Each structure stands twice: as C-alpha cells, then as structure tokens.
Structure 1
C-alpha cells in the first residue's frame, strides 16, 4: 500500500475541500438554526456541485459518475464530511450503489433520475421492533399473481421525505436452518405515490439538523414483479454485495468532522493565553492534542487500508468494521476533547464544535452499532478456531 496520494487524489481532496469551505460552510448556520434545507438552496448548491464534477461522484463513469476507486472516494467523503450532514448529503448527493444491481429498465427508471439530480433514493430496512436484527423484521410481502403485496412499517428511514422512491426490504418467506427458522428477504422498488404506501414524519433527532428521518407504512401496497431488485428471497445477498462499503463511508465522513474539530482545538491552543502563556504549552492541553492527533491518525490508517483492500478484492468484514468502529469512536473522543480545550466557549454555537459533538453521537449507532462492529470483528477472529 502506497501511503502517498497520487496527483489525481490530491486534486480531488483540494477541489472537494474548497467546495465545502466556499459553498457549504456559509449555509451551516442557517440549517442549524432552522433545522431545514430550503428547496431553492438545495438546487443552487446542487447545480454548483454538478458543475464542479462532485455530484454523484461515487458512481461509475458509465452511468455518469466520476468512477473513483474506493480510496479516492473515501478521501472525497472525508472532505464532504467536514460540513453539516444535511448540506453535503442532500446537495452533493451520492446515490446508493445498490441501484447498480438493477436491470437495465430499472436503472433507466430509478438510477438515471438520481444521477441527474431529479430525485433521491432511500433505503428501508429498519423497523420499530427490528433494528440490528434484520432477520427479525415483521414487514412482509406476499405474491399475488404477477404482483407482490407489501404490508408493515419501517422507521428511521433517511431522506424518505424528498426521495422519489424507496428500496424496501421485506420478509418473503422462511427457511429452516440449524439455528432455527430464518426469514427470506426480498428487496423491492416502491414509488412515492403508490397506493398503500405512506411516508410520515419521523422523529426529532439531536444529531444532524436539517437531516430527516421518516416512518414508512405499507398497507396492502401492490407492486409488480418487475420492481423486485435482484432475485426473490435474495435481498440480503444484494445488500451485502452493494452496501458493504457504507461502513467505510460513515468512517470517512467521521474523519472529516474529527479533523475539523482538531483543527479548531489546535488553533485555539496556540492563540488562547492564560497565566502568561499559550494554553497549548500546558501539559493538560498539549497532551490532549497529542492524543487527539494519534486517535485520528489511527482511524485514518484503518479506513484507508480498508479502502485500498476493497479495490484489491481482499477486504474482510472485520476490516470495514474496524474502520467504522475506530473512526466513529475517535470522532466522539476528539469532539469532546476539543470542547474541553475551548472551555465554555466550545459549547456556544458561534463555533461548529457543539454541532460536531452532537452529530458524532449517531455515528456509533447507524450503519451498524459499535457493538455490532465488535461482534463482526470478534466473530471473524474466532471462526477459524471453531468459535
């Protein structure tokens, strides 16, 4: 693994960081204050992102994306992650890679509008009674002639309010295994406006103001068989193939916010004077900076290594879980220590630190909790030994 950036990767970092600082930072205060993204602001930033070549840059070139390798994509995600989540996720959208699993007809109907910025997608897995235990989902789909009829509820569904359609995972059967019955899962495209499909406001969230989550309700919602994504009963296989790298995406955006918090803490430690000297000269502060920098570097190396291995075809589930676990927990530590260094001023909204601190909390929960990541890592360690 080469630890230096290529000329192209350096350009990606510089271009994305400049865009974030000039086009996203100026709007953070508004979004934090109102908790809302104005439609006209979305379109304004969206157009600039497209002009800069940053919109949907995670996708392959043959569908209109930038065709970035995984490590370059993670570097791009880190820079976007410096900004308010709602701003970078909505206005510099990255359509879900799972859309690439669709048939040519499905790509035309669902992927192309996302690439053009005409709509957004959302993924619906989580249920009120089934969070990390996706096999415990109760929402189901039953075949009726050439259609499928969907019933049940999903919640915590990101961006469903603005999405034109949802990719919904439903239980479609059951099979016996040595560990007992296991549900078979199928993925479906469900268009907004389909009879029996209702999107309701979700919950108020302490993290990521401007970001929305919704409750999706399915009441005898009928969709044609042509809207099955992948194969029937193979929904988990589709998800595992196309969504595995989302843990790395969370890791990378967490690194961006951690780096921003560390930057503020370092500058303040050099500028603030107490007892006749810079506070950074006191061990109580300088040692904090050293620990923060070390945690960030360790998280970066785990994330970049997993990204590099992803492109080599050698990445493991544990590699991605380690990156997600370390980066999200490093972000929480760095955000907290940055506020401690600033004292009371760190909790004021004149600085982004209190937002970064609040936003950090959800990163250890979504896309797999820290406990789930530890389970994956330890399971991979023990399996060769019969555990």
Structure 2
C-alpha cells in the first residue's frame, strides 16, 4: 500500500486550509458559541464557491470524481481549526451515499449538496443502541408508502438540514429512508453536546414517506448501511487527526514559551515525556487512518482497519486531549482559552459512533469469527 498523498489530496488540503484558517478565527468561534445553531454559513459558502464541497463527489453528480482519500484530506483540514461546518454529514456520508446508491432524482440531492445549495445529514445514533447497523427505528408498509417510527439522537445539522437519511428496520431488512424535516410527524429538537456542535434529537411519529424515498431497497439496505458506517468511522478519525495535530502544535509551542524556575517547562523530563507520548499517539492515529481510508478507496475488505483507526482516534484522542490540558495547567481549564475547545472537540470525536472500548469489542468479535 502507498500512503503518499495524491496530487488532488495535496491541492484540496492546501485550498481547504487556506480558507478554513482564514475564516475560522477564535473570535468567529466565540461568536458562533452564542448562535442558536453552531454553523458557520460564511465558511460553508466559501468552501462551496471554491469547489471544495463538490471536489470529492462522483462526476455523475457534478463532482470532481475523487473519493474517500480526498474527503479525509478535507476533513483533516476542517478538524485543525475546529471549523463548524457539516462536511462530514452532508458531503462524506449523505451526498456520497446518494451518489453511490440513489436513483436519478436522489442523485440530484447530492449534486445540490455539492454546490452548497442544500445541507444533508444522516441520523445514525439511537439511545440504548450501540449498533447503528441494526436500528431500533422501524418502518412498515402502508400501501405503496412507508411509515417510520422511532427516535434518533445527536443528528448533526438536523435543525438546518434539507434532507435526513434515516436508517430503519423493516420486515424485509434494514433500509435507508430520505426524510425531510418538514414531513408530517417529524420533530427536531436541539441537543446540548460536549463541544456545542449543532446536533439534535429527531423524532419520527408515524412519518409517512413514498417508495421513492427509499435509498436502494431493503434488499441491499444492509450493504448501504455497512458502506455508510465504515465511512463515518473513517471520517471521524480524519477529523480527529486534524484536531489532535493542531492541539499538539499548540501545546508544544506553549511548552517552549512557558517559563517556570527560569526554564521552559518543555525542558522538564515529565513534560517532555508527555509530549513525546502525544507525538507517538498522533502518529498512530495518522497511520491507522490512512491505512483504513486507502483500503476503502481500493474497495478492499477494511472492517478491521476501520475499527483500528477509530480505536486510535478515540484512545489516542483521549490521551492527547488530557495532555494538552495538563501541560497548559489552569489556563487549559479556562473555557475561553482556545485549547479548551480542542479538548472538547477531541472528547466529542472520541465517543461519537463508539468509544475505544466499543471498537475493541468489535475487533474482538471479528477475530472470534475467524475460522480456526
């Protein structure tokens, strides 16, 4: 395998970083903290105008024809300044799934998302259900329509999304439905989450949708869910990598500048060891991410690699986040200080779609299922 970044990845990284770092300032983040929805519409428009949103979508929906590797490069650059935009949910998951499995009308949603005209999202998490591939939310037939009932939690961007992809269990298997927030029986309620990102509870109370709102069919619904969940785990790992890389840069800079007992604190053995461990952790997160993303890009079996990447994103993310806070001392606990945002973001990415323990359980099951 070759982890050398493609020319497209490098171009997208540079373009995304130049836009995101220019617009995502601490002042802008503080301004958005007080907003009803933590969504930087100015940055989102700038990314759309620059072609970043469409670049990693298939050519069939007006995209640049790139894929998961390029999407991970964009997510890494979005994670560095903690840019509050729904690239992961709208482009990497929803638009990409519609482009891959949708009919002509459904692919139009993906094209509009790539142009920045609409925001899409995917509702994966449910309370007391640690397996999104087997949703508690149900869908039953009513003539030619489907009736959905259930509750999804921590749905990104749901309050301003134009379309929500909702997995549900049907008598014929798992299927993914296209639900609009304006549909009858849909209730969207904002949630307060760790890093104050825009996430919501979405309740479906007998929501009726037509057969044209099914992505693929129940016959291949499990395949679609596996496709979405694998990319969700890798996408979260890519976002976490950008967050951890920038957090490590900030704490290393602080350790060089902060003087105690007439010496920079970075010269103290205990501090240097913590920084060295964090450096190794970030390298581990980087290696496992690109290994998983590369295998997905090559359509190779990647379940072990995906779980390993998400484990490192969670486990290493936990350690690096605490190292950043501890070395900054009391300053790191100040919620107005920039590094505290990195701590909160890393904790959010750690637990989203399964903690380190959950990833180890799934890896253990994979190993247990291997024939003796």
- What are the Cα deviations for residues 139-195 of structure 1, in whole angstroms up to 9, with x where unaligned? 322222222222333332222111112222222217xxxxxxxxx222221223222
Is the 8 Å Cα contact of residues 20 and 81 (structure 2) preserved in structure 1?
Answer: yes
Asked if 1:118 corresponds to 2:107, the answer is: no
Q: 1:298 aligns with which of 265, 281, 284?
A: 284
- Cα distance in 1, alignment partners of residues 278 and 181 from structure 2: 44
Name the residue aligned to 1:30: 31
Contact 1:49/1:92 (CA < 8 Å) preserved in 2? no
Query: Any conservation in 1 of the 2:120–2:163 contact (CA below 8 Å)?
Result: yes
Partner residue in 1 for 2:329: 343
Counterpart selection for 1:192 from 181, 189, 192: 181
Determine the C-alpha separation between the residues in 1 that align with 2:361 and 2:82: 30
> How many positions carry a matched residue from both structures?
369
Cα distance in structure 2, aligned partners of 1:353 and 1:230:
43
1:353 corresponds to which residue? 339
Change (3 A) 1:88 1:18: farther
Tell me the residue number matched to 1:19: 19
CA contact (8 A) 1:262 1:334 kept: yes
Structure 1, unaligned runs of 5 or more: 175-183
Match of residue 297 from structure 2: 311
Shift of the 329–281 alpha-carbon distance from structure 1 to 2, 3 Å rule, reads same
Deviation string, structure 1 residues 240-274 (Cα, Å, up to 9, x no partner): 13442221110011011101111011111111111
Instruction: Kindly report which structure 2 residues correspond to 1:1-387, keeping only aligned pairs within 5 A, or say none.
Output: 1-26=1-26, 27-34=28-35, 36-37=37-38, 42=41, 44-87=42-85, 89=87, 94=92, 96=94, 97-100=96-99, 101-108=101-108, 110-132=109-131, 134-135=133-134, 137=136, 139-173=137-171, 184-196=173-185, 198-207=186-195, 209-219=196-206, 221-386=207-372
Q: Unpaired segments of 5 or more residues in structure 2?
A: none
Q: Is the 8 A contact 1:306 1:315 kept in 2?
A: no
Paired with 1:7 and 1:224, the residues of 2 have a C-alpha distance of 43
User: Are the aligned partners of 1:254 and 1:360 in contact in 2 as well (CA < 8 Å)?
Assistant: yes
SS in 2 for 1:127: coil
TM-superposed deviation, 1:33:
4.5
Are the structure 2 counterparts of residues 7 and 76 from structure 1 closer, same or farther at C-alpha, using a change threshold of 3 Å?
Answer: same
Give the Cα separation in 1 of the matches to 2:214 and 2:86. Answer: 30
Distance verdict in 2 for CA 1:87–1:73, change over 3 Å: closer
Question: Max radius of gyration: which structure?
Answer: 1
Contact map agreement 1:56 1:95 (CA 8 A) in 2: no
Could you tell me the TM-score, scaled by structure 1's length? 0.87
Question: Contact 2:191–2:200 at 8 Å: present in 1 too?
Answer: yes
Q: How far does residue 362 in structure 1 lie from its aligned partner after superposition?
A: 2.5
* Distance in 2, Cα, partners of 1:88 & 1:142: 30
Residues 305 and 170 of structure 1: CA distance in aligned 2, closer, same or farther (over 3 Å): closer
CA distance in 1, matches of 2:93, 2:363: 28
Structure 1 residues 4 and 141, CA gap change in structure 2 (3 angstroms): closer
1:19-52 per-residue CA deviation (whole Å, 9 max, x = no partner) reads: 22101235212123546447xx51x323321232
Kindly state the Cα deviation for residue 283 of structure 1 after the two structures are TM-superposed: 0.5
Deviation at 1:136, TM superposition (A): 5.9
Match of 1:177 in 2: none
Distance 1:225 1:48, change over 3 A: same
TM-score of the superposed pair, with normalisation by structure 2: 0.90
Q: What secondary structure, in the 3-state scheme, does the structure 2 residue paired with 1:186 have?
A: strand
**C-alpha displacement at 1:233, in angstroms?**
4.8
Cα 1:92/1:11, change in 2 over 3 Å:
farther
- Contact 2:93-2:232 at 8 Å conserved across structures: no
